[in-house]
Amino acid sequence: MQRNRTIWIAGCALWLGIAGQAATLQDYAKEYRKQLAEKIMPYWYDTMDREHGGYLLADALSGRQVATDKSLVTQSRMVWGFAHADIKGFSDKQHNYLKAAEHGYRFLLEHFRDPENGGYYWKLGTDGKILDDRKILYGQCFVIYAMVEYSRASGRQEPIDRAMELYRSIQQRSHDANNDGWFEHFKRDWTPLMQHDETIVVELGGHKSANTHLHLMECLTELYDVTHHSEVKKSLEECLRLNQDYFYPLEAGKSCFHRQPDWRLVTRPASAGLSYGHNVEFAWLMIRAELVLGRKPSWSHFNAHLEHALKYGYDWINGGIYARGIDNQPATATEKVWWAEAELIAALTDGLKRKWNPMYEAALEKQIRFIAEKQTAPDGIWLDTVTSEGNPKSPGKAHAWKANYHDVRAMVKFMEAFEKD
């Protein structure tokens, strides 16, 4: 372990390439491009399962592990990540990321898609056999997100047709016509699961969650951007409104994880508090949704969430955003999870693109250095979770919840914002 730690530290110094001197955001942007091209995307390219299809995601700082399943969420995110990388010009002679995206796209259609009932299963074995046939809205969202990006990369209409097919299933089966919003958990035939039990692995059965409605807004934004379909627009407007009013209000400290079907607060202790990572992710995705809808962006709402996270959930000594907190109080969970770290980079990037802010710039520089020095493996892949001080807590690099989505997206956003010819 000590030897691995020494190699890791040496690798971080090489990553920064600027030991002993000040670096600019432009320097970091150039390094991100290099890391994405030479290390990060090639790493994910090697996860393709060329025997059964899809991707094998099981790796940690200690070495490759044996994958036991294929999750709808990460398989879809991998399709999105490869399509996005191709759009951004990262494909080369050794790594055709459009082909890598097509590889996963076909696996989604041939194995995850339910041709009888519509929608996509939650989990398969590595051989493509069904392990969990439930329809969970959180996973369906990422299928739409992946289909849209793959269509953009390939120029094909079929992925958009599949995305619209899934959107219609969601609207028919999941939308709450009485109270607005969407229910989230269903059996294979879309029978609602309205009571929570230990087999529901994402959010709460019978409730509406900030997490799912955030990602539904995310995918509807991109679906509307490419289709300009009136019904999709209506759904996006509804989802945006619900997120702004109930889950991520202007008073950021009042954000919450879950709501009752009729939008009453959930009082169970496990639902108390807020996620700083989700709050800042919402902030920039809200702006994206408003721009796609042709609205004036709600920058005051954006700044409220970003500044709340920086005040109560940011480690100004070491860098890094904490996991959870309650209202306007110090963070209650101080571990640092890769996806939240990425979403802070994305939000700070968008904030600085709009208007220079010394606090945002200082946080962004500290954030990048913390991740490079404490949360990046020698091969460039971010570790799942580290402690407040930056010691590995969950040293996973790829698994059923971790793919090439949050961090790659944030790095590309940052690179494009600050890299100069």
Residues 88-103: tens digit of each pLDDT: 999 999 999 999 999 9
Residue 242 has pLDDT above 90, yes or no: yes
CA distances 98 to 160, 265, 412, Å, are: 16, 44, 17
Residue 5 has pLDDT above 80, yes or no: no
d(CA 92, CA 24): 28
d(CA 339, CA 386): 12
Higher pLDDT, 69 or 23: 69
d(CA 131, CA 71): 10
Helical segments of 174-295, H only: 210-227, 230-242, 276-293
Please name the residue that has the structure tokens 């490759």.
Answer: 64
Listed in sequence order, the residues at least 6 apart from 109 whose beta carbon sits closer than 8 Å to its beta carbon are 162
For residues 240-248, average pLDDT:
98
pLDDT tens, residue by residue, 11-59: 454 455 544 457 899 999 999 999 999 999 999 999 999 999 999 999 9
| Maximum separation of any 2 CA atoms in the chain, in Å | 61
Task: Report CA 414 to chain centroid distance, whole Å.
Answer: 15
Listed in sequence order, the residues at least 6 apart from 311 whose beta carbon sits closer than 8 Å to its beta carbon are none
Q: Can you give the pLDDT at residue 303? A: 98
Listed in sequence order, the residues at least 6 apart from 224 whose beta carbon sits closer than 8 Å to its beta carbon are 232, 233, 236, 292, 293
Task: Say if pTM beats, i.e. exceeds, 0.85.
Answer: yes
The size of the chain, in residues, is 421
Please name the residue that has the structure tokens 């491009």.
Answer: 33
Q: Can you give the pLDDT at residue 201? A: 84
pLDDT tens, residue by residue, 112-151: 999 999 999 999 999 999 999 999 999 999 999 999 999 9
Q: What is the mean pLDDT of the chain?
A: 94
Contact 111, 128 (CB under 8 A): yes
d(CA 410, CA 168): 30
Extended beta strands in 334-395, E state: 336-337, 385-386, 392-394
Number of H helices, E strands in the chain: 14, 15
Q: Can you give the pLDDT at residue 21? A: 57
CA nearest neighbour of 405 among 70, 85, 32: 85
- Could you tell me the pLDDT band of residue 270, with boundaries at 50, 70 and 90? confident
State which amino acid sits at residue 46. Answer: D
Q: Can you give the pLDDT at residue 12? A: 52
- What one-character DSSP code corresponds to residue 307? H
Q: Can you give the pLDDT at residue 7? A: 38
Classify burial at 271, counting beta carbons within 10 Å of its beta carbon; exposed 0-12, middle 13-18, buried 19 or more. Answer: middle
Strand partners, 103: none
Q: What is the percentage of the chain residues whose pLDDT exceeds 90?
A: 91
- Could you tell me the pLDDT band of residue 1, with boundaries at 50, 70 and 90? very low
Contact 16, 31 (CB under 8 A): yes
Tokens linked to 252: 């950021």
pLDDT tens, residue by residue, 175-204: 999 999 999 999 999 999 998 888 888 998
Q: Can you give the pLDDT at residue 198? A: 85
